[in-house]
Chain A
């Protein structure tokens, strides 16, 4: 079965840039999406189609893609950005979709 691989945790100091990666064999051909989930809350879409930002998402959130890896970048991370982040995509053989294992971002 298809897998998306993320680091379990990332830590940065306030104001620094946080980068969260997600790797998967089909990512060169399939879009990735990123979700933020704060404790006790439903997930929120923060990046779609690799690098597009939904309305209402701060500009410090950006996404990029290179080969089999996509990256969520939070420029000038703030305490309110502490959350779990999940990438999401589909296998090239489809049709089914998967989430990465999630990355816990700590800003301290």
Chain B
């Protein structure tokens, strides 16, 4: 059974930084692309970033490009999202997801809440 456990969320001031982690189990982590998706309170889903399983290629939404960095440690079965220069509009639940060959999420974690406020 695929399990994804996010952590690292919390309250941070505007301009601050936070690193999210997602520990994966139940599948061969290194073989799969992984994706971060966020959902602001009361709003819809927003694709944030993805990383391939094969060569570690990374992709970002325009709204986070240059501020967020996705990475993975295949030896630890862990996905990361380093978030810098945080803004109020980054406030959301952040989900990590195992992704298929077309980078579509096919299994999701339960999410971690990030709140950017002073």
In the complex the two chains form, what is the Cα distance from A37 to B97 in whole Å? Answer: 14
CB distance from B43 to the nearest CB of A (A): 9
> Taking chain B's interface residues, is the majority helix, strand, or loop, or is none over half, making it mixed?
strand
B residues near A90, Cβ cutoff 8 Å: 102-103
Contact call A97/B47, Cβ cutoff below 8 A: yes
Interface residue tally on B, bucketed by range: 20 to 34
Binds B, one of A17-25, A41-49, A60-68: A41-49
Q: Mark B10-36, 1 if CB is under 8 A from A, else 0.
A: 000000000000000000000000010
Question: Is B109 an interface residue when CB atoms closer than 8 A count as contact?
Answer: yes
Contact call A102/B104, Cβ cutoff below 8 A: no
B residues near A95, Cβ cutoff 8 Å: 59, 103
A-B CB contacts (within 8 Å), total count: 60
Which partner residue on chain A sits nearest B106 by CB separation? Answer: A45
Q: Which of A37, A45, A48, A96 contacts B59 (CB 8 A)?
A: A96
> Taking chain A's interface residues, is the majority helix, strand, or loop, or is none over half, making it mixed?
strand
Question: Is B82 an interface residue when CB atoms closer than 8 A count as contact?
Answer: no
Contact call B100/A99, Cβ cutoff below 8 A: no
In the complex the two chains form, what is the Cα distance from A104 to B36 in whole Å? Answer: 23
| Interface contacts beyond A84-B44, A98-B47: sample of 11 additional A-B pairs, CB < 8 Å, sorted by A | A35-B45, A42-B109, A43-B37, A43-B108, A48-B100, A88-B104, A90-B102, A97-B35, A97-B47, A99-B46, A99-B47
